[in-house]
Amino acid sequence: MAQAFPHGAAIARSSTPVKPVAISSANGLRAVTRAMELMREGADALDAVIAGVNIVEDDPNDTTVGYGGLPNEDGVVELDAAVMHGPTHRAGAVASLRNIKNPSRVARTVMERTDHVLLVGEGALRFARAHGFKEEDLLTDKARQAWLTWKENLSTSDDWLPPHKPDDKDIGRNLDPAVLDAFGEYFRHTGTIHCSGLDLQGNMSCVTTTSGLAFKIPGRVGDSPIIGAGLYVDNAVGSAGSTGRGEANLANCSCRMIVEAMRTGKSPEQACLDIVQSIVDHTKLRCLLDDNGRPRFDVAFYAMNVRGEFGGARIYSGGVFSVHDGTEARHHPSAYLYKKP
């Protein structure tokens, strides 16, 4: 086991610059590239990681984050985000925020312009308005089509029907495999982007931002804006973040646990794997388990310690995360518990 980080110890910041590192979820190659550019110019890690994820929040083609994110069951996009700043150990977050495409920037404003940590719903929107954030419709045509397909295939007991011929049977049933194949990319996913950075000064910060579970019940909030679950940083130890099924993470306070495991000397990858195992062990709800008793969902973690060592893990094989540690942005394989069925 690597050397532990003493609890509460102030890290001796190097007088010579530290080698910056940025890690992110698989959809964060552009985020780590931008974060690295800024950190190389001397930016604080928080400025760098927020600028990185803003690229993905602005991208209509990423249907898991910001503008173009998949909406709730009423067809309204609701965003969650949180930021945490290592050097000051301050945090800010927003949940169920409508009409503002960069919730990570609103979360940062909560951190900097209030003494609160989390604002939700209408209050978060009014706060964003007061700070000059522009309101816009976040629902793209692509996301609206995906929502409509989901709604039309939801149940036979409602009046929403997909295109059909008069004698078609089984229209409007719960999504069958053929429909899932056609729309699997969109099916109830919990994409999200997380980004953690270690800057030239040896300081760490992180951000997580998401449109949350596709077609969720309005007001549903996942792990992303919850400090200790969707992200956590201790500037003396390391930083962690998550994507995937937020409910599983919320019930396990995973990112704080990962940082505490790194504090004892566990590698970032092992710390992530341990929490993945813990989530699997704690998942008891039958409808969430397959015939082998394994989760029907996935959840992914990303972690980096203050030495710039990084790792990631998830329940099932085949996942990658994004990293930039000096040369170029690249995907790195995630550790996993089970081979994907």
Residue 300 Cβ vs ligand GLY, minimum distance, rounded to whole Å: 9
Residue 26's contacts (CB-CB under 8 Å, 6 or more residues apart) are 319, 320, 321, 322, 331
Which of 64, 140, 190, 192 is catalytic? The answer is 192
Nearer to ligand GLY, 197 or 246 (CB): 246
For residue 99, give every residue at least 6 positions away whose Cβ sits within 8 Å of its Cβ, in sequence order, or none: 125, 135, 136, 137, 138
- Supply 157's token pair: 């007991």
How many angstroms separate the CA atoms of 93 and 106, rounded? 8
CB of 171 to ligand GLY, least distance (A): 30
Residue 210 beta carbon to ligand GLY: minimum distance, rounded to whole angstroms: 5
Figure out which of the listed residues 86, 246, 295, 319 binds ligand GLY, where binding follows CB under 6 A.
Answer: 246
Residue 308 CB, nearest distance to ligand GLY (Å)? 25
Q: Does 224 bind ligand GLY (CB under 6 A)?
A: yes
- Angle of helix 121-130 relative to helix 103-113, nearest 10 degrees, comes to 80
Pick the closer one to ligand GLY by CB: 27 or 243. 243
Q: For residues 153 and 243, which CB has a smaller minimum distance to ligand GLY in the complex? A: 243
Judged by CB under 6 A, how many residues of this single chain contact ligand GLY? Answer: 12
149 catalytic residue (yes or no): no
Whether residue 203 contacts residue 236, with contact meaning beta carbons closer than 8 Å, is answered with no
Interaction between residue 190 and ligand GLY (CB under 6 A): yes
The two tokens of residue 14 are 């190097």
Where would I find the H helices in 15-155?
29-40, 45-57, 103-113, 121-130, 141-152
Site string for ligand GLY, 193-222 (x = CB under 6 A): -----------------x-xx--------x
Burial zone of 259 (CB within 10 Å; 0-12 exposed, 13-18 middle, 19+ buried): buried
Query: Please, what is the minimum distance in Å from the beta carbon of residue 219 to ligand GLY?
Result: 12
Buried b (16+ CB within 10 A) or exposed e, 78-105: bbbbbbbbbbeebbbbbbbbbbbbbbbb
Measured from the CB atom, the residue of 6 and 184 that comes closer to ligand GLY is 184
DSSP string, 267-310: -HHHHHHHHHHHHHHH---GGGB-TTS-BSS-EEEEEEETTS-E
CA-based nearest residue to 300, from 197, 193, 220:
193
Asked if residue 252 binds ligand GLY (CB under 6 A), the reply is no
CB-CB contact of 319 with 337 (8 Å): no
Which residue from 96, 109, 235, 243 is in contact with ligand GLY, where contact means CB under 6 A? 243
Q: Which stretch binds ligand GLY (CB under 6 A): 43-51, 90-98, 242-250, 257-265?
A: 242-250
CB-wise, 179 or 251, nearer to ligand GLY? Answer: 251
Q: How far is the CB of 167 from ligand GLY (least distance, A)?
A: 40
- Residues between 151 and 180 that touch ligand GLY (CB under 6 A): none
**Do residues 193 and 65 lie in contact, with contact meaning Cβ atoms separated by under 8 Å?**
yes
According to the binding rule CB under 6 A, does residue 244 interact with ligand GLY? Answer: yes
- Residues serving a catalytic function are 192
Binding site residues, ligand GLY, CB under 6 A: 190, 192, 210, 212-213, 222-224, 243-246
